[in-house]
């Protein structure tokens, strides 16, 4: 709970102050707290230590901490120094994470859509099958048999022969990754990850004791395959976690030959491949995707969910596992949740019996929202480097002056919640200052309003920027 | 994943062999694997080490391992010795844990009922409220506001003023305990537990890095309050996990003065009280219970769920937390499941608006099933020491010849799955050989059949028992 943050580590997460130094530093630390990079209960370094590590004066760090204390983000504990707290009451958990503090604000922190039309009917149809379920205790540690069969057939139809026994139904894709981590990771195990990725999945591995080994980012995609192969050969890695299809957040797709090379390296080094395919179906432009990573390595753990193309509120995901890894997964579950809600599995089974209408409705919506957002950005924020993603649920925008955290802080003042780029980076978060993830899972009207606010924030922040120069050197 | 089991530890879990030594020892190890005390991936000691630790011959341990290898429970890995595996195909996860391998068998491994009448109507009523939910992304990291309000009112009605902000909805009580453990436990933290308890909750703490410190059992209940207070004073404990109301599995109720004493000791030592109240409402005889533990210590984390009196298939539980612990709980959730299924929360809210009909139907069923089971045991297994529990969902039967694991193995041969007593014991599992948990959550007809099978197993095993003598000395 109460990790102590060293002065060096905190200093590394900060950029040199601009404008009024103490205010800017307090602002930067506030963002680190708000977006979860510094968690509640963490102990900050002393004012003296922080001054030494950042090169600002002791008076400045004293004012930084006073500022944070006044904002209710820091309190002093007897003998424990300054401890971070996120004051309750000011903002509830939901308002902090999912929705802005007041109803007039907009949150673009999540890439999660409302339910597509047709899902309500699936709920009704599932209700008809409910009595059979209510006459059981309802515990389904590996999943509802009918759903496991449908999911197995779905893999088979994609060229991956699968038996229902190989499916473990979980409470979403993140819950699947977390389960894999808890089942297989031991304290100190190395896990290869993409240096840009979905942060909660990385946190799930860390929470299970893993040491993350990020593969460096290259210009045109998140995979430096050569570096990854070298890393795997250099020492034992328990697992590698990758998102090869419409990678979150970059939307990149791993090529067939890259998949082959990585799968071979993992097989040779005994590394467990944990492949997140939860974006694979969000194929907006009907791109011909390379075969699933599971085709290259039979021992892969494939992770997927209904959250993107169907609905996140279902909280249903699943793992396709090699036969001998199913039981350890189910056993790990016995210490955590005993199974996924039974009725939701009936609902998903209903959808999967005839998925086209629901999926088509979802994809049509995403496609027009994507096009709308890309057009808005071209018109109102032409400085941003925006490519139209062929799939996935967000635009990964390049920021010419590497100011993601400050831009996000400014947007917040305009009632727009965003996730700062560094949040998606493991290893060298500072590199994330050059990026901003902009999800298009909300309606065109909301996107209009959001881009309007973002443009205002962008204008407002440019004035007091320090010249971009030394900061570039920090990018890994 | 792959803990190495020392010969001393394995030997301590085994009782001296009776009958054909290698077969009996193989049988005992098989049970340890089947009920999860030895998990898949564990490395067993070498044949030589096990022989030395148990005092049997090397030939015997060689035959034990050969037997286990033939049964598919052990395989040899190059350089890794003998590794436990639970072969898939022979038995699926569900059949191993929840239901017996064939349809004619009975599982008394779980104390979880089918849904009470009236729950189907709550599902239908919830469907009417669904459209409002489907128009959101459905992520509820702290829970559905309407449900949090109803749960807060419920606590207030019981004398614990509570604001909705203090409620975090989870995916069941175990998921709540697991979340608490992941939010607050750091590697090596000590957690005080009852030496007899619900094992999955203990595993959740261990999985988060805790060192369990069991409080010794006393004759008339699971709490040795004096020992607990002494333990808390002897050194820092992060938390204490207790089940004071119709304790699972003993059905004991902690007295008001015991609550007061323990709460005071925890407050004085800065120990976080984690109190599992999930059996509190299963009050079959309308016993006047002492006030909730939360009345004695405002900083208590109260854990509860809808699984016992409503339905486990909902997978909805909750935590009532002090204000300053809510945010760390929600933050921990961001690495694991992002929230509980949305629709199930609507269903539970429907039930809680008028809980009496559903709860009364559930409790009436449990009461008559309990009376039926107690009468059956008195008639067919008078040797067992059975007290009629005033609440909870199982009988905690005393076994005069301390043979729980062997009795469970014998019952399995009669198609009856049970959990061996040691499974509920932390610290000195051998003490559990004197007990058997018999849940009464199934119909009278199933209980008839189960007790019939159990009586046959009991008769069959008595003949080849070693005289109970030295084994008693092992009880802690």
d(CA B240, CA B232): 9
Residue at A423 is within a domain: yes
A28–chain B nearest CA distance, Å: 20
Q: Lowest mean pLDDT: which of A99-108, B145-154, B210-219?
A: A99-108
Contact B112 A137 (CB under 8 A): yes
List pLDDT tens digits, range A42-63.
788 888 888 888 888 999 999 8
Domain final position from B321, B337, B353:
B353
Which residues, other chains included, contact A329 with Cβ-Cβ below 8 Å and sequence gap of 6+? Answer: A168, A179, A180, A183, A319, A321
Contact A114 B134 (CB under 8 A): yes
Q: Check whether A244 has a pLDDT greater than 90.
A: yes
Task: Please measure the distance between the N-terminal and C-terminal CA atoms of chain B and give it in whole angstroms.
Answer: 29
Rounded (10°) angle between helices A21-34 and A404-413: 90
- Mean pLDDT to the nearest integer, A171-182: 96
Domain final position from B319, B353, B387:
B353
Question: Is A138 in the B-facing interface, judged by CB distances under 8 Å?
Answer: yes
Contact B341 A97 (CB under 8 A): no
Identify which of A36, A113, A141 has the shortest CB distance to residue B97. Answer: A141
Determine the residue of chain B that is closest to A98 in CA distance.
B139
Q: Check whether A86 has a pLDDT greater than 70.
A: no
Residue at A125 is within a domain: no
Of the pLDDT bands very low, low, confident and very high (cuts 50, 70, 90), residue B46 is confident
- In chain B, residues with a C-beta closer than 8 Å to the C-beta of A200 are 334-335, 338
Suggest the residue from A118, A137, A141, A321 to mutate for an interface test with chain B (most B CBs closer than 10 A).
A137
The predicted pLDDT at position A180 comes to 97
Domain final position from B335, B353, B371:
B353
Residue at B117 is within a domain: no
The predicted pLDDT at position A104 comes to 73
HSE-CB for A230 with a 13 A CA cutoff: 8
Total count of domains within chain B: 3
Contact A93 B336 (CB under 8 A): no
- In chain A, residues with a C-beta closer than 8 Å to the C-beta of B138 are 112, 114-115, 311-315
B13, B31 Cβ separation under 8 angstroms: no
A60–chain B nearest CA distance, Å: 29
Task: Please measure the distance between the N-terminal and C-terminal CA atoms of chain A and give it in whole angstroms.
Answer: 29
pTM, two decimals, is 0.82
Determine the residue of chain A that is closest to B203 in CA distance.
A335
Same structural domain for residues A373 and A403? yes
d(CA B304, CA A227): 48
* Residues of B (55-94) whose Cβ lies below 8 Å from A: 85-86, 88-89, 92-94
Q: How many other CB atoms are there within 10 angstroms of residue A269's CB atom?
A: 17
Q: Which residue range(s) make up the domain with A39?
A: 7-84
Residue B413's nearest CA partner among B152, B91, B101 is B101
B194, B247 Cβ separation under 8 angstroms: yes
d(CA A103, CA A294): 44
- In chain B, residues with a C-beta closer than 8 Å to the C-beta of A135 are 114-115
Same structural domain for residues B304 and B452? no
- In chain A, residues with a C-beta closer than 8 Å to the C-beta of B326 are 88, 93
Same structural domain for residues A466 and A330? no
Of the pLDDT bands very low, low, confident and very high (cuts 50, 70, 90), residue B229 is very high
- Specify the CATH number for the domain of residue A363: 3.90.1150.10
- Mean pLDDT to the nearest integer, A293-306: 95
How much is the ipTM here?
0.80
- Mean pLDDT to the nearest integer, A372-389: 97
Same structural domain for residues B446 and B308? no
Q: Check whether A132 has a pLDDT greater than 60.
A: yes
The predicted pLDDT at position B97 comes to 42
Q: Check whether A24 has a pLDDT greater than 90.
A: no
Determine the residue of chain B that is closest to A208 in CA distance.
B208
Among positive and negative, which fits the CA dihedral A411, A413, A419, A420?
positive
* Residues of A (221-240) whose Cβ lies below 8 Å from B: none
The predicted pLDDT at position B103 comes to 62
Residue at B247 is within a domain: yes
- Mean pLDDT to the nearest integer, A410-430: 87
- In chain B, residues with a C-beta closer than 8 Å to the C-beta of A113 are 137
Contacts by A8-15, CB closer than 8 A, 24 or more apart: A8/A53, A10/A38, A10/A44, A10/A45, A10/A50, A10/A53, A11/A50, A11/A53, A11/A54, A12/A430, A13/A37, A13/A422, A13/A429, A13/A430, A14/A54, A15/A405, A15/A430, A15/A433, A15/A471, A15/A474
Under 8 Å CB pairs connecting chains A and B tally to: 261
Same structural domain for residues A316 and A257? yes
Same structural domain for residues B171 and B289? yes
B300, B275 Cβ separation under 8 angstroms: yes
B40–chain A nearest CA distance, Å: 6
Residue at B90 is within a domain: no
**What is the percentage of chain B residues whose pLDDT exceeds 70?**
89
Kind plus residue range of the DSSP H or E element containing B235: none
Determine the residue of chain A that is closest to B173 in CA distance.
A337
Contact B327 A187 (CB under 8 A): no
A315 class by beta-carbon count within 10 Å (0-12 exposed, 13-18 middle, 19+ buried): buried
- Specify the CATH number for the domain of residue A163: 3.40.640.10
Q: How many other CB atoms are there within 10 angstroms of residue B441's CB atom?
A: 23
Of the pLDDT bands very low, low, confident and very high (cuts 50, 70, 90), residue B15 is confident
Contact B341 A314 (CB under 8 A): yes
Identify which of B40, B313, B344 has the shortest CB distance to residue A137. Answer: B313
Same structural domain for residues B274 and B381? no
Residue at A117 is within a domain: no
The predicted pLDDT at position B219 comes to 62
d(CA B388, CA A69): 56
Same structural domain for residues B363 and B239? no
- Specify the CATH number for the domain of residue A25: 1.10.10.10
B407–chain A nearest CA distance, Å: 24
- Mean pLDDT to the nearest integer, A361-376: 96
**What is the percentage of chain A residues whose pLDDT exceeds 90?**
59
Question: Is A188 in the B-facing interface, judged by CB distances under 8 Å?
Answer: no
Question: Is A303 in the B-facing interface, judged by CB distances under 8 Å?
Answer: no
- In chain A, residues with a C-beta closer than 8 Å to the C-beta of B241 are none
Q: Check whether A105 has a pLDDT greater than 90.
A: no
- CA distances in angstroms from B350 to A52, A418, B163, B306, listed in the order given: 58, 35, 20, 12
Q: Which residues of B126-158 are buried (b: 16+ CB within 10 A; e: fewer)?
A: bbeebeebbebbbbbbbbbebbbbbbbebbeee
Q: Lowest mean pLDDT: which of A467-471, B106-110, B212-216, B274-278?
A: A467-471
Same structural domain for residues B362 and B348? no
List pLDDT tens digits, range B431-453.
888 999 999 999 999 999 999 99
- Mean pLDDT to the nearest integer, A448-468: 77
Same structural domain for residues B270 and B416? no
Place of tokens 């899902």: A119
In sequence order, which ranges of A317-424 are alpha helices (DSSP H)? 323-333, 342-353, 356-380, 404-413
Question: Structure tokens of A39?
Answer: 């968690």
Kind plus residue range of the DSSP H or E element containing B446: helix B444-462
Residue at A407 is within a domain: yes
d(CA B298, CA B465): 51
Q: What 3-state class would DSSP assign to B417?
A: strand
d(CA A226, CA A261): 9
Same structural domain for residues A205 and A340? yes
Which residues, other chains included, contact B96 with Cβ-Cβ below 8 Å and sequence gap of 6+? Answer: A327, B34, B86
d(CA B15, CA B456): 22
Identify which of A120, A138, A141 has the shortest CB distance to residue B93. Answer: A141
List pLDDT tens digits, range B133-144.
898 888 899 999
| DSSP, residue by residue, A337-360 | TSS--HHHHHHHHHHHHS-HHHHH
A140, A147 Cβ separation under 8 angstroms: no
Residue at B199 is within a domain: yes
d(CA A86, CA B328): 9
Selected residue with higher pLDDT from A409 and B190: B190
d(CA B129, CA A359): 23
B183–chain A nearest CA distance, Å: 6
B443 pairs with which residues across the strands? none
Question: Structure tokens of B306?
Answer: 């809808």
The CA radius of gyration of chain A, in Å to the nearest whole number, is: 23
Identify which of B139, B209, B331 has the shortest CB distance to residue A98. Answer: B139
Question: Is A127 in the B-facing interface, judged by CB distances under 8 Å?
Answer: yes
- Mean pLDDT to the nearest integer, A377-391: 97
Question: Structure tokens of A244?
Answer: 């090869």
d(CA B405, CA B411): 10
The predicted pLDDT at position B40 comes to 66
List pLDDT tens digits, range A304-322.
999 998 999 999 999 999 9
HSE-CB for A116 with a 13 A CA cutoff: 21
Same structural domain for residues A227 and A301? yes
């Amino acid at each position: 709970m109460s990790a102590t943050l060293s002065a060096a580590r905190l200093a590394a997460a900060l950029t040199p102050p601009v404008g009024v130094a103490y205010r800017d530093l307090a602002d930067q630390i506030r963002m680190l707290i708000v977006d979860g990079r510094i968690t509640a209960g963490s102990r900050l370094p002393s004012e003296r230590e922080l001054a030494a590590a950042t090169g600002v004066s002791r008076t400045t760090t004293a004012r930084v901490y006073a500022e944070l204390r006044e904002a209710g983000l820091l309190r002093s504990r007897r003998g424990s120094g300054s401890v971070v707290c996120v004051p309750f009451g000011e903002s509830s958990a939901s308002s902090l994470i999912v929705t802005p503090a007041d109803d007039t604000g907009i949150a673009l922190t999540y890439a999660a859509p409302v339910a597509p039309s047709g899902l309500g009917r699936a709920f009704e149809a599932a209700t008809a099958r409910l009595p059979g379920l209510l006459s059981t205790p309802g515990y389904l540690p590996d999943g509802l048999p009918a759903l496991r069969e449908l999911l197995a057939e779905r893999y088979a139809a994609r060229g991956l022969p699968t038996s229902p026994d190989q499916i473990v139904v979980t409470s979403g894709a993140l819950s699947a990754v977390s389960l894999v981590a808890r089942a297989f990771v031991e304290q100190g195990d190395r896990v290869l990850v993409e240096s840009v990725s979905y942060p909660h999945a990385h946190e799930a591995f860390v929470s299970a004791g893993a040491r993350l080994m990020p593969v460096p980012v290259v210009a045109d995609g998140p995979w430096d395959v050569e570096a990854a192969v070298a890393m795997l050969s250099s020492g034992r890695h328990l697992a590698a976690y990758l998102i090869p299809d419409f990678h979150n957040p970059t939307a990149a797709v791993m090529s067939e030959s890259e998949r082959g090379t990585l799968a071979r390296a993992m097989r040779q080094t005994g590394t467990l491949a944990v492949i997140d395919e939860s974006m694979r179906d969000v194929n907006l432009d009907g791109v011909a995707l390379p075969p699933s990573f599971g085709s290259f390595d039979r021992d892969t753990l494939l992770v997927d969910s209904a959250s993107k193309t169907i609905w996140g509120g279902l909280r249903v995901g699943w793992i396709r596992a090699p036969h001998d890894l199913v039981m350890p997964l189910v056993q790990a579950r016995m210490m955590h949740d005993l199974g996924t809600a039974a009725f939701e599995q009936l609902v998903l089974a209903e959808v999967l019996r005839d998925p086209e209408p629901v999926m088509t409705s979802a994809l049509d919506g995403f496609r027009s929202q994507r096009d709308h957002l890309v057009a808005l950005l071209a018109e109102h924020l032409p400085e941003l480097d925006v490519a139209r993603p062929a799939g996935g649920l967000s635009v990964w925008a390049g920021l010419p002056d590497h100011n993601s955290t400050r831009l996000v802080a400014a947007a917040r003042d305009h009632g727009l919640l965003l996730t700062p780029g560094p949040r998606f980076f493991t290893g060298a978060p500072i590199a994330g200052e050059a990026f901003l993830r902009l999800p298009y899972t909300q309606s065109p009207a909301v996107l209009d309003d959001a881009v309007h606010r973002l443009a205002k924030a962008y204008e407002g922040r440019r004035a007091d920027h320090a010249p971009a120069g030394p900061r570039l050197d920090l990018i890994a």
